[in-house]
Every structure is written in structure tokens, then in C-alpha cells.
Amino acid sequence: QKKEARELRIRALEYVPNDITPIDLRRIALEYFKLEDYDKAEELLIRLQKTGFEPVSTLLHLARVCVVTERLDKVKKYVEDAWVMRKEAKSYLIARLLWFKIALDMIENLPIQNYLGQLKTILQNDESLAEWTMQPVLDHLKPKLKENDRALLTALVAAMSFKENIKKLNEFKEWKKADPLTID
């Protein structure tokens, strides 16, 4: 029955007209992401990117797809492109950018303190919080990360989604040691 429901959702999404609004296009791409049809999600996000609609958000959606499809080089490119445009972005997107930078540095065993400090600063602003669907990414990153790093990334997603989860970050020594920093 679950498989049938999934197939019905896919069939309902199959026709995406050319005159669809950017918001609808992003919503449909997210549905494909949730259905694990990453090729279709990426195709729609690239189409969305060409419209110029919310470029930082679109690049982050593309980065998320590229993590689960094992293309970390593209993740880095999308994150760096989005970082250049961060001044135009809403604060919750800057928080997400920092999360990606932390995750990428963890994979490469690079220091994360500066990014954690910047994230600590931005999370003081309620506008930097927005629910975020990252479980597929976290699951995919699991074998690439140390247990504590994976736990910290998971806690960061929870904190970035809901304010009441921010206190739980104090369980991590890396978070406690990070001095709040302004975003450069």
C-alpha cells in the first residue's frame, strides 16, 4: 500500500508545465527529493536556478541533492556560489550555508570553530530558524563522519529548525568552545 501511494504521488508530479510558478516548481522538486527521485529533483532545481528565483535557496537545494548522489565536488561549488551571494539571503539560509560548510569541513577533517562561532551568532536571531528536511543527507553522510560529528550535525539541524533545540547544542564541547563570531 505504501508503494502504491508513492507511485500515485510520482504520477501526480510527472507533468510539470513550463508556465508553473517558481514557488510551485521548488515545491515539486522538494516532493521529488522526498520521494528519492533525485534526478528529477535536480532537473527541476536547475530549471528553477535558470529563472533566478531565490538563488541562494536554490543552490542549497541543489547542494542537498548532490550530497545524496555522491557529488561532493558539486556540493562545494554550490555552497561557495551561494556564499558569494549571502548578503542577499535571508538569515535562515545563511545558517544553512554555515551548516554545509561545517559538514564539508568535517568530512575533510578541517577545523570548524569559526563556522560554529558564526552559526552561534546567527542562531540568536529568530529569523534564522526554519524547519529543514535533512534526514536523507544526514543518513548519507553517516559513513563519512565520526560519530560525534554526525551527532553535532544532527543537533544543528534540529536547532536550526526549532528554537527549543538550541539548548541541546551545549552538550557538544565544540559548540561550547566556539566563540560567537560575526559573519564575514
Across the chain, mean pLDDT equals 91
Grade residue 133 by pLDDT with cuts at 50, 70 and 90.
Answer: confident
| d(C-alpha 147, C-alpha 165), whole Å | 19
Residue 12 in this model has a pLDDT that exceeds 90: no
pLDDT band at 1 (very low <50, low <70, confident <90, very high): low
* CA gap 64, 84 in Å, rounded: 18
Q: What per-residue confidence (pLDDT) applies to 183?
A: 86
Q: Which of 132, 134, 133, 137 is nearest to 70 (CA)?
A: 137
pTM for the structure as a whole = 0.89
Reply yes or no on whether the pLDDT at 31 is more than 60: yes
